[in-house]
A and B are shown apart, each in its own frame.
Chain A
Amino acid sequence: MRRLLLALAFLLLMASTWIGLTRGQIDPVQRNILYVHVPNSVCALLCFVVVLVASIGYLATGGQTWDLVAAAAAEAGFVFATILNATGMIFSRAEWNVWWTPSPRLVTSAILWFLYAVYLILRVSLPDAQRRAARLCAVFGIVAFLDVPLVYISARFIPDIHRPNFSLDSAWQTAALMLGMAGTALLAAGLIWLRTSLLRDSRKLEQELLG
C-alpha cells in the first residue's frame, strides 16, 4: 500500500515536471522553480500540522505511535522546508541577484526551517526512553506551531522588495502546479507513513534487546 502511494506520488511529480517544462513554461525561466517551491511550501506547513496533531494526540493519550508520527512528520517537514529555502534562494539569486534578503517570504521560510531543525535536535539529544523527553518534544511541537502564524504576521513588518506577479496564464500551468501539489502531498504522506513504521520497528527491536 505504501509502495503504491509513493509510486503514485512519483508519477504525479513526473507528470507535473513534464507538463511544466514543456507545455507550461513560465517566462523568465527561473520562475519555473515555482512548480517545486509552492508545493514544498504547502507541504512543509502541512507536515507541521501533522506534528501538531500528533503532539496533542501523544499528550492526550500517551500512545507511543503518536510520538513516532510526530517525529516522522518533523523529519519529512524538515526536508520540505530545506527544499523550500533552497528553491527560494535559487529564485532570489536568479531574479534579484542576491542569495538571500530579509523579505517576508524568505524570512518566514527560514524561521520555519529553524523550528524544524530545533525540533529534530531535541529529538536527537534527549534520551529516547524517557517519557519526559517525548513529552518535551510534544510540548515544543505545539508551542512551535503557535509560533507559525505569529511569524507570518511579524513578517508583515518587512516590506516585500519586489512582489512578482505569480499569475498562472494557461491551463497547462495550473495543471502542472496542481499535479505538483498533489504529488508532493502524497509524497509527504508516504514518507511519514514509511518513517513511522521504521521508527516503530526500531523501537520494538531496541526494547527487545534491552528488555
Chain B
Amino acid sequence: MREAMAQDKLTGAVLSVRAVSKTFVTRPVLRGIDLIVPASEAVCLCGINGAGKSTLLRVIAGLLRPDRGSISIQGCEVRREPEKSRRQLGMISHASMVYPELTVSENLAFAARLYGVPNRAGRIEEMLTGTGLSSYRHDRAGILSRGLLQRLAIARALLHRPAVLLADEPFTGLDADATENVLTIFDRFVREGGTILMTTHDLHLGLRCCARVAVLDRGVLILDARKEEIDAPRFLADYLSYARSRR
C-alpha cells in the first residue's frame, strides 16, 4: 500500500481507487475497481442502472466502507486519514444536501464553517458570483428551482476548494440553460486543476465535458479510455445497443 501511495505522489494521481470491492449482503456491487485519476481531468463514468456507479461514488466519498481495497485522495488514504481526505473532496448527488429553511448565503456560510474555510465572506462571494447566484443570496433555499438548487449544491461542494469533485447525475432535471451553466462551472474547475468523477446517463453531455470515459458493468470496469482513443459516434451507438441488451 505504501508503494502505491508513493507511486501516487510520483505520477501525480489525485484520486486513486485500488481494488475496491463492495458487497451488499449477498449481492456483489463492486468487484475489484481500479481507477487512477490525475489533476485537471474529468472522468465520465457510465453504466446502466444498478451497475454500481452511485455506490462507487459513495465509497470514494467515504459514506460507504468498502469490503476490500483502498482509496486515496491527494495521497491521503480515506480510511486512515478520514478528516484530511474529506477536506479534499466535494460531492453533489441526487439529494441537494441543502437546508430549505436557510437562505442561499446561509447555506454556504454553514458549509464554510463546517470545512473551516478561511476568509468566509470573501469565498462565499466568489462562489455566488461564480455560479451566478448573487441575486438569490437572500432567498430561502426551499423556493429555488431545480436548476438554481443544483448550482447551490455545486457552490457548496466547491466552497472549500477541494481537489476532487464527485458528481452523481449532475444534469438530471436541468433545462438547457442550467446545463450550460453547470458545464461552464465544471470546465473552469478542471482548468484550475480540479479532478471530476461524474456519473451520467446522458453520454453526449458526458463526452462533452469529460476527457475520459469509463464504463461500469455489473461491478466491473469494462472500459477506461481517453476520449481521443475512442471513436465517439461508434462508441455511442455501441453503448446504446449494449444498454438495450442488458435491460
- By a beta-carbon cutoff of 8 Å, the part of chain A in contact with chain B is 129, 131, 207, 211
Within the assembled complex, what's the spacing in Å between the Cα atoms of A166 and B27?
Answer: 57
Interface presence of B10 (CB below 8 A)? no
Per-position binary interface string of chain B over residues 26-50, scored 1 when its CB falls under 8 Å from any chain A CB and 0 otherwise: 1100000000000000000000000
Q: Secondary structure of the B side of the interface?
A: loop
A201 to chain B, nearest CB (A): 15
**Residues in chain A near residue B26, CB distance under 8 A:** 207, 211
**Residues in chain B near residue A131, CB distance under 8 A:** 25
**Residues in chain B near residue A207, CB distance under 8 A:** 25-26
Per-position binary interface string of chain B over residues 1-43, scored 1 when its CB falls under 8 Å from any chain A CB and 0 otherwise: 0000000000000000000000001110000000000000000
Complex: chain B residue closest to A128, CB-CB:
B25
Within the assembled complex, what's the spacing in Å between the Cα atoms of A146 and B25?
Answer: 30
Complex: chain B residue closest to A211, CB-CB:
B26
Within the assembled complex, what's the spacing in Å between the Cα atoms of A137 and B71?
Answer: 30
Within the assembled complex, what's the spacing in Å between the Cα atoms of A131 and B27?
Answer: 13
Complex: chain B residue closest to A130, CB-CB:
B25
A94 to chain B, nearest CB (A): 51
Within the assembled complex, what's the spacing in Å between the Cα atoms of A207 and B27?
Answer: 10
6 chain-A/chain-B pairs, Cβ below 8 angstroms: A129-B25, A131-B25, A207-B25, A207-B26, A211-B26, A211-B27
Complex: chain B residue closest to A207, CB-CB:
B26
Within the assembled complex, what's the spacing in Å between the Cα atoms of A38 and B126?
Answer: 72
Give B161-211 interface residues, CB cut-off 8 Å to A. none
Within the assembled complex, what's the spacing in Å between the Cα atoms of A161 and B229?
Answer: 87
Within the assembled complex, what's the spacing in Å between the Cα atoms of A198 and B215?
Answer: 42
Within the assembled complex, what's the spacing in Å between the Cα atoms of A65 and B82?
Answer: 30
A126 to chain B, nearest CB (A): 14
Within the assembled complex, what's the spacing in Å between the Cα atoms of A129 and B26?
Answer: 10
Complex: chain B residue closest to A131, CB-CB:
B25
**Residues in chain A near residue B25, CB distance under 8 A:** 129, 131, 207
Complex: chain A residue closest to B27, CB-CB:
A211
Within the assembled complex, what's the spacing in Å between the Cα atoms of A157 and B26?
Answer: 50
Give B96-151 interface residues, CB cut-off 8 Å to A. none
**Residues in chain B near residue A129, CB distance under 8 A:** 25
Complex: chain B residue closest to A129, CB-CB:
B25
B206 to chain A, nearest CB (A): 32
**Residues in chain A near residue B27, CB distance under 8 A:** 211
> Considering the complex of A and B, which 6 residue pairs feature the smallest CB-CB distances, nearest first?
A207-B26, A211-B26, A129-B25, A207-B25, A131-B25, A211-B27
B24 to chain A, nearest CB (A): 8
